[in-house]
């Protein structure tokens, strides 16, 4: 929900003619990738000419549509099971994985178990977690930031290994973005409109630990299974230098209420700007469509400090030979 992570939510990947054209895509995590808030979907789909994933609960996701993949993400969740405990009806990570197992059974019934296993093994997977654990989890106040970050990473490792056990072999894992700079935090906790140092520190500690953990897993597995996405660097430049990217501001959301339009969701009672393309944030939590276009560029062609060990374009070429 409060993670400025970057997300590749698209399927049936289309690349140059010599590259295989069909591939499933699965999405797990929090509100930045759930179907309700995910503006990356049209951005990525337009770029690679693909059909978008459907939420797993959609009545339209059946039959051959299952080959497209599915979105299992749910707003309000985190790495820890008690993150978002105040919310009703959210789908925590262990429940998302239970649905993924159910999905595989349904897919097997349509195309057979052997082919279903191949679809899952060759799919692209996106996992986005972490920000909510720092922002809305009471347990975070029981630790120092470094200790809490290490604890989160230990639990995240278990989640990623479970995903591997369920068949995922190419997973984009997003770190947290500049948590202290989103309009919601500016509205609630900033006295001068500046990013919150505590949350910025949390991101700077958590992300390197995540990157090291994915490298360790890859070494253990003997493959580039997990790809670390540096969401902080992908976001921070247009946040600190909005005019460079053609934005009027990166502090105020395009739609919302209260200071910086950072209180509450976007709804019919919200203040709505006249030109949404001039804002780096759409609402209190999520980047605008234009901001996402800059992020998507980095997902595809970013250097190793942004996409480690390889970017999405390289992934698509390498995996075309599977």
Q: Annotated catalytic sites, by residue?
A: 31, 283, 286
Ramachandran assignment for 305, one of left (phi > 0), alpha (psi -120 to 50 degrees), beta (any other): alpha
Q: Is residue 306 classed as helix, strand or coil in its secondary structure?
A: coil
Neighbours of 299 (CB within 10 A): 28
Identify the CA nearest to 206 among candidates 159, 151, 164, 160: 151
Q: What is the DSSP string of 27-38?
A: EEESTTTSTTT-
- The residues, any chain, with a CB within 8 Å of residue 238's CB and separated by 6 or more, are 244, 245, 247, 250, 280, 291, 294
- Return the H-helix or E-strand segment holding 174: strand 171-174
Which residue stretches of the chain are H helix?
40-48, 93-111, 113-121, 131-135, 145-165, 183-189, 197-221, 231-240, 289-301, 312-319
């Amino acid at each position: 929900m409060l993670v400025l992570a970057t997300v590749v939510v698209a399927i049936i990947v289309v690349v140059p003619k010599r590259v295989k054209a069909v591939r499933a895509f699965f999405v797990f995590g929090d509100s930045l990738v759930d179907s309700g808030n995910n503006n990356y979907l049209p951005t990525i789909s337009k770029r690679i000419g693909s059909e978008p994933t459907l939420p797993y609960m959609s009545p339209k996701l059946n039959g051959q549509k299952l080959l497209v993949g599915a979105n299992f993400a749910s707003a309000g969740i985190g790495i820890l099971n008690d993150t978002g405990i105040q919310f009703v009806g959210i789908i925590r990570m262990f429940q998302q994985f239970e649905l993924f197992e159910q999905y595989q059974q349904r897919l097997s019934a349509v195309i057979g178990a052997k082919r279903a296993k191949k679809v899952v093994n060759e799919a692209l997977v996106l996992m986005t977690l972490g920000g909510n654990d720092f922002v809305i989890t009471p347990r975070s106040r029981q630790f120092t930031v470094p200790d809490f970050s290490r604890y989160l990473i230990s639990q995240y490792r278990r989640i990623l290994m479970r995903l591997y056990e369920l068949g995922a072999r190419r997973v984009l894992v997003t770190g947290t973005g500049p948590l202290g700079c989103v309009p919601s935090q500016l509205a609630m906790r900033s006295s001068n409109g500046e990013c919150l140092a505590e949350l910025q520190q949390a991101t700077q500690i958590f992300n390197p630990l995540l990157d090291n953990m994915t490298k360790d897993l890859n070494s253990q597995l003997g493959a580039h299974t997990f790809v670390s996405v540096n969401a902080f660097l992908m976001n921070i430049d247009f946040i600190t230098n909005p005019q460079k990217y053609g934005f009027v501001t990166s502090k105020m959301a395009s739609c919302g209420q209260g200071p910086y339009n950072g209180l509450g969701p976007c709804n019919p009672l919200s203040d709505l700007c006249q030109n949404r393309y001039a804002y780096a944030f759409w609402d209190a939590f999520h980047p605008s469509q234009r901001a996402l276009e800059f992020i998507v560029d980095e997902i595809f062609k970013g250097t190793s400090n942004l996409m480690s060990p390889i970017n999405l374009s390289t992934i698509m070429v390498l995996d075309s030979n599977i």
